[in-house]
Chain A
């Protein structure tokens, strides 16, 4: 690697870490609330931690606590979890071309820690670099998300009663604001702008008509088609494909 490439890598990793600070704080805050809520829903510390480590998908973990509290049967909880987490297919498909040279066993582990946040941070990092950086993925997925979420969840199990709701301090805005900010970082031309606007608009409409999770998948699937309908800008062929 040339000196210039190393400098670019170091700069982009710093950018990744700085972007990740707010996201890690948000993951920790809501992991903490999850741990506290899990105890309230009747889970033991082992069960709360197991769900956090094995499922590792915040929305479906919170939803599962609600389903359990509502007395929903396990098959229904499992089916709803699968539907709620179906959006990860999009993330995995979008990352696959970038990660094609990573050995399969490591890709299998990478998949387990693939979340909204890991996808957002790593795809922005790869796009900045115009190449893959496996360590960057681990920083985003494990350093920024997996560790803060799971450590905080365990803390929430044991000392959750002591701390007030993070929504009081506006921390619930970090997740959507970070997603929009990171989407803006991925915009390199008209196609991305159209894909983002159509994805957001369709997401809201379908989210209102059907459900928020279906809205996200619908926006993520159809937004890119609208982007592809926009003629490629002159010189866009110089952009490297992942």
Chain B
């Protein structure tokens, strides 16, 4: 059984770990000034919204890059509305999956 790419995986891990660990392990993080803490509190909504929008609007079916406004965007909006209404993510996810699966089965997605 080949293991030559294990070294590549290790090197990929070596360059990934610092971005995950440096701020978490940095000394003095508990003494950050209030404006920085306010900024960090807003990172969550901003980056998660960016991930969702980029995945749906920038990457089309099959991972092709380009503006894409399709059934996936409708599904995400439905998920968002259901999540806000029910205060629970799961019904929104189920609805989003159902919308996309049905649309693709019907040849619309």
Contacts and interface: CB of A to CB of B under 8 A. Distances in A.
Interface of A: 15, 18-19, 21-23, 43-47, 50-51, 54-57, 60, 64, 68, 74, 77-79, 81-82, 85-97, 99-100, 104, 107-108, 110-112, 114, 116, 119-120, 123-124, 127, 167-187, 191-193, 195-204, 207-208, 211-212, 215-216, 218-220, 222-225, 227-228, 241-242
Nearest to A207: B58
B107 to A, nearest CB: 12
A177 B21 contact: no
Contacts of B23: 89, 92-93, 95-96
Contacts of A216: 47, 50-51, 54
A173 B20 contact: no
A116 B59 CA distance: 17
A219 B50 contact: yes
Interface string B68-109: 000010011001100110001110111011111110100000
Among B4, B30, B55, B75, the one with the most A-chain Cβ atoms within 10 Å of its Cβ is B55
Tell me if B's interface is mostly helix, strand, loop or mixed.
helix
B50 A200 contact: yes
Contact of B47 (A15, A81, A90, A174): A90
Among A86, A92, A181, A208, the one with the most B-chain Cβ atoms within 10 Å of its Cβ is A181
Interface residues of B, number: 76
B72 A173 contact: yes
Among B44, B76, B102, the one with the most A-chain Cβ atoms within 10 Å of its Cβ is B44
Interface in B17-51: 17, 19-26, 29-30, 32, 34-35, 37-51
